[in-house]
A and B are shown apart, each in its own frame.
Chain A
Amino acid sequence: MSEGTVKKIMYVNRKAPYGTIYALESLEVVLIAAAFDQDVSLVFMDDGVYQLKKGHQTKGIEVKNFQPTYRALDDYDVNKLYVEKEALEARGLSQEDMCVPVEVLSAAAIGKLMEQQDVLLSF
């Protein structure tokens, strides 16, 4: 990475965990890219809000529980996490159901943040 260039990079997560591989893949990419000291933010919209629903217990489906990794993001200075308000409401969820500290924003407010990014990566 050329020195001095910090880009605003947003990861947009819109899929439920476990049913598809998208959530885990996104998390892997975030962790890899965290080494480059960029201005990173994560957005959880639509079914993506389920990725942060507290209490994943994956023993029964014999799949790795990757939820603890979200709690490690802060150690990599990834601490801008935004969750879509409308998505939570449609799913009977609230901010208290989230496994990490997040900022709850309307879809429109998230849209404004998107406008400010250099790069958007969609999962």
Chain B
Amino acid sequence: MLHIVNKSPLERSTLDSCLAAAQPGAAVLLIEDGVYAATRGHAAESKLRAALAHLEIYVLVPDLEARGMGQSLVEGMKPVDYTGFVELVVQHKNCQSWL
């Protein structure tokens, strides 16, 4: 399944909630302020790197670029554009948005 996180991990705990619930093999898509989690040097970086062992993590590039973070994506995270976002939704059986 696909999990979507759209809040900053230093302001809200939805990334933690998502990572605690996500099962091995699931996909996580970070959008809006959620993309900050996947930027180099962020307090959440190690947590996300560890999650890569059992999750696919995607990050919406237009949201990174809007925030001046286009060059800061942590290695191993998969960048996607809006078309990729739609494909992820189509490919997965269901989707949970951690609002």
Q: Which A residues have a C-beta under 8 Å from some C-beta of B?
A: 15-20, 46-47, 50, 53-61, 63, 65, 67, 90-93
B19 proximal to A (CB < 8 A): no
B26 proximal to A (CB < 8 A): no
* In-complex Cβ contact of A92 among B7, B11, B42, B63 (8 A): B42
User: How many A-B contacts are there with CB distance less than 8 Å?
Assistant: 74
A-B contact pairs, 15 of them (CB 8 A): A19-B7, A19-B8, A19-B33, A46-B10, A47-B36, A50-B36, A53-B68, A57-B68, A60-B61, A60-B81, A91-B10, A91-B41, A91-B43, A92-B40, A92-B72
* B 29-47 binary contact with A (CB < 8 Å = 1; else 0): 0001100100111110100
Flag if A47 contacts B67 (CB, 8 Å): no
Q: Which B residues have a C-beta under 8 Å from some C-beta of A?
A: 6-8, 10-11, 32-33, 36, 39-43, 45, 61-63, 65-72, 81
Chain B residues in 8 Å Cβ range of A63: 66
* In-complex Cβ contact of A47 among B8, B61, B81 (8 A): B8
Q: Roughly how many angstroms separate A59 CA and B81 CA in the complex, as a whole number?
A: 13
Flag if B67 contacts A50 (CB, 8 Å): yes
Flag if A56 contacts B67 (CB, 8 Å): yes
Flag if B10 contacts A61 (CB, 8 Å): no
Residue of B nearest to A93 (CB): B41
Flag if B10 contacts A47 (CB, 8 Å): yes
Flag if B42 contacts A91 (CB, 8 Å): yes
